[in-house]
Amino acid sequence: MKIDCKASERVRASRTQVRRLSVASKSLKMAGSAECPVVEVAYQTDLGTMIHGKIENALESRYLQDHKGKINLIVTSPPFPLVRKKRYGNETGEAYLQWLEALATPLAELLTDDGSIVIEIGNVWEEGAPIMSTLPLEALIAFKRAAKLNLCQHVICHNPARLPSPAAWVNLKRARLKDSFTHVWWMSKAEFPKADNRRVLNPYSKDMKKLLERQSYNAGTRPSGHVISKSGFLTDHGGSIGPNVLDLAGEHYPESLLKYTGTGWDAGYRSYCKKNDLPCHPARMQSSLSAFFIQFLTDENDLVLDPFGGSNTTGSVAESLNRRWISVEADRDYVDGSIGRFPRLAFEEQNESAG
C-alpha cells in the first residue's frame, strides 16, 4: 500500500494491519519525494513508539528532533560489521566504522545531560581464518571519540550457555576456545551520569549471609594491602555489588532481573511470529541485559531509545519497567513481529485480522 507523507495521516497496513502514523521527515522533504515516507510510526503502546525506518532518516525526522536532550538512555546492539577478506585493505570494515561513527553525534545530542549510551557488540571473526577482527572495538572507539563521550565502564556480558562457535575453529580444528561473551560499552556525556548500582544487586553468597547472621568476621589488613574495617561488612545492603562481568544466565544475576532471564520472555514473541508467518529475529538481545542497564541507569518514567530495535526487546522490557521508550528498526518484518512482545497489541491485531 502506498503511504502518503503528510504528518499524522493514519493508514492501514496491508500485511499485518498494524495501525501506522506517518512521521514528517526532513530527509523526505529534502528528497522531495511523494513516495512512501522514509520513516513511519508502526505502532504505539501506553509508553512507547515503534518507528519503522532507518535510524539515519529517523534522526532527521521532526519526531526525533523534538526529543533532543530528552532521552535518558540509549541501549542497543547495532548490526555487526561484515568482515570480508580483501587483497587490499578491508573496505567493508572501514565503511562500517565510518557509518557507526557518523551516528555518534546525532545520537549523543538526543541524550539528557546525565544520560547514557550502552552499546553491545559481539566478537567478529575474519572469514576463512581463525583470526579475530578488531573492527568492533575500533568502531566503538571511533564512536566514542566522534561524540566526545566518556567510557564509564567496559562490561563483559558472559553467556556460558552459548553453543561453541566459530564451529570451524572451535569444534572441528579444536584450535580456538568457545566464543562466549559480548562487549558492552557504557558511555556518557557527563562524568557522573545517572546510575545507581543498588538497583541491580546480586544475591549475597551463602558465606556472606552467614557472616551477616553471625555479625562477626576477621578485620585487619589482608595480604593484598586492603584494610578491612571492624564493622564495614556487618550491614545488610540487600545484596552484593555486581562485577563488570555480567553472567546473566548464571546463578548470580540480580534478583530484579529474574523474569527477564531464560527463554520465557521470548515465548509470546516467538509464537506470534510463527502464527503470523514472520521471521523470528536471529540476533535478539538478551532481555536480561537490556533490563539490567535500564534498571541501573534510569528511573521510572524516563525515556529509553533503541536505534536498532530489531524485535524490540528494549522497548518491551522498558514498558514492563514503567519506562517510556522509542525503538527504530529498518526491517519491516522485524517491526511486524515485534508486536508479539506486547500482548494487548498482539491480541487486537489477531482480532482485526480475523474480523
Ligand X SMILES: C[S@@+](CC[C@H](N)C(=O)[O-])C[C@H]1O[C@@H](n2cnc3c(N)ncnc32)[C@H](O)[C@@H]1O
CB of 310 to ligand X, least distance (A): 3
Count the site residues for ligand X by CB under 6 A: 18
Residue 166, preceding peptide bond in cis (omega within 30° of 0): yes
CB of 207 to ligand X, least distance (A): 36
CB of 5 to ligand X, least distance (A): 19
DSSP 344: H
CB of 313 to ligand X, least distance (A): 3
According to DSSP, the residues that pair with 255 across neighbouring strands are: none
List 28, 39, 50, 55, residue binding ligand X (CB under 6 A): 55
Per rule CB under 6 A, is residue 311 in the interface with ligand X?
yes
**Do residues 307 and 328 make contact, with C-beta atoms less than 8 angstroms apart?**
yes
Per rule CB under 6 A, is residue 319 in the interface with ligand X?
no
b/e map 64-86, b = 16+ CB within 10 Å: beebeeebbbbbbbbebbebeee
Using the minimum distance from each CB to ligand X, give the nearer residue, 24 or 82.
82
Per rule CB under 6 A, is residue 328 in the interface with ligand X?
yes
Q: Which residue is nearest to ligand X (CB)?
A: 310
Pairwise CA distance, residues 149 & 107, whole Å = 11
CB of 67 to ligand X, least distance (A): 16
Cell numbers that stand for 229 in this block: 574495617
Per rule CB under 6 A, is residue 313 in the interface with ligand X?
yes
Using the minimum distance from each CB to ligand X, give the nearer residue, 138 or 331.
331
b/e map 207-236, b = 16+ CB within 10 Å: eeeeeeeeeebeeeeeeeeeeeeeeebeee
Per rule CB under 6 A, is residue 284 in the interface with ligand X?
yes
Q: Which residues bind ligand X (CB under 6 A)?
A: 54-56, 77, 79, 281, 283-285, 308, 310-311, 313, 328-331, 334
